[in-house]
């Protein structure tokens, strides 16, 4: 089975721009979560989706948004980019989406904001 | 609120020696606990988890973890470290009502040959 894929792998943007990151979960997985990883803050939870519904959201400003499609693929969007948004963005999927399920992570998208 | 603490930023161990990476947690209700490992420029890889049952959980690559409810700890262990075990290790707790995973700050493990 193919693992979690994330595109693009690397992205360079300038302040004020917006960006969309994509995540394709493992086939059959219905839950997708997003995390931001930075050296200073570690891994921070952004949001989790299940069957196209956001089940939980972390403490991030409204500039961060996401969605999930009927095929379980997910996108996250960051508008009005700031320098502090530079980070590794990780996506994880699980089946079927229960709290005890193991999450499987993609390789991440490295976003650099200049 | 759920939280996870990894008290050591870094652990150094010689190859062949046993290793322990510490984790303590705070949750309401039953804890769902996980360990993940991250190699450079990679995503996180699942090592093991505790949901219920035996307090000693065995996982991938020879790792195991011991759940201790009274001490609210879930330490990761391996009897004999390998240089290839050098990586960043994360302990995590699943919010058992809110579909949210909270990660510790991570512990960098260095295994010296």
Give the A:B interface size as CB pairs under 8 Å.
57
Which residues of B are less than 8 Å from A99 in CB distance?
A: 32, 94-97, 99
The per-residue pLDDT for B96 is 67
Residues B104 and A43: beta-carbon distance below 8 Å: no
- Between residues B53 and A113, which one has the greater pLDDT? A113
Instruction: Provide the mean pLDDT of chain A.
Output: 94
Contact flag A50-B42 (C-beta cutoff 8 Å): no
Percent of the residues in chain B that have a pLDDT greater than 90, as a whole number: 78
Q: Show the tokens assigned to A69.
A: 């499609």
Comparing CB atoms, the residue among A33, A42, A50 nearest residue B101 is A33
- What is the mean predicted confidence (pLDDT) over A1-11? 93
pLDDT tens track for A10-26: 999 999 999 999 999 99
User: Using a CB-CB distance cutoff of 8 angstroms, which residues of chain A are in contact with residue B90?
Assistant: 43
B28: Cα within 13 Å, side-chain hemisphere:
3
Query: DSSP letter at B62?
Result: G
The answer to which of A15-19, A38-42, A53-57 has the lowest mean pLDDT is A38-42
Does pLDDT of A74 surpass 90? yes
């Amino acid at each position: 089975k193919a693992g979690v894929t994330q595109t693009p792998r690397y992205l360079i943007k300038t302040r004020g721009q917006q960006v969309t990151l994509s995540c394709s979960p493992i086939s059959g997985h219905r839950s997708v979560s997003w995390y931001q990883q930075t050296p200073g803050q570690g891994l921070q939870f952004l949001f989790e989706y299940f069957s196209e519904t956001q089940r939980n959201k972390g403490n991030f400003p409204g500039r961060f948004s996401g969605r999930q499609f009927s095929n379980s693929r997910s996108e996250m969007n960051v508008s009005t980019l700031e320098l502090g948004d530079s980070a590794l963005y990780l996506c994880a999927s699980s089946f079927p989406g229960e709290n005890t399920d193991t999450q499987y992570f993609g390789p991440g998208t490295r976003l650099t904001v200049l | 609120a759920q939280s996870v603490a990894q008290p050591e930023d870094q652990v150094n161990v010689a190859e062949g020696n046993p290793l322990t990476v510490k984790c303590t947690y705070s949750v309401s209700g039953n804890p769902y606990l996980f360990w993940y490992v991250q190699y450079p420029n990679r995503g996180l890889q699942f090592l093991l988890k505790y949901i219920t049952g035996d307090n000693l959980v065995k996982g991938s690559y020879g790792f195991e973890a011991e759940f201790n409810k009274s001490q609210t700890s879930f330490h990761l262990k391996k009897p004999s470290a390998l240089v290839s075990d050098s990586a960043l290790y994360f302990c995590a707790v699943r919010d058992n009502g809110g579909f949210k995973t909270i990660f510790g700050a991570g512990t960098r493990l260095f295994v010296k040959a």
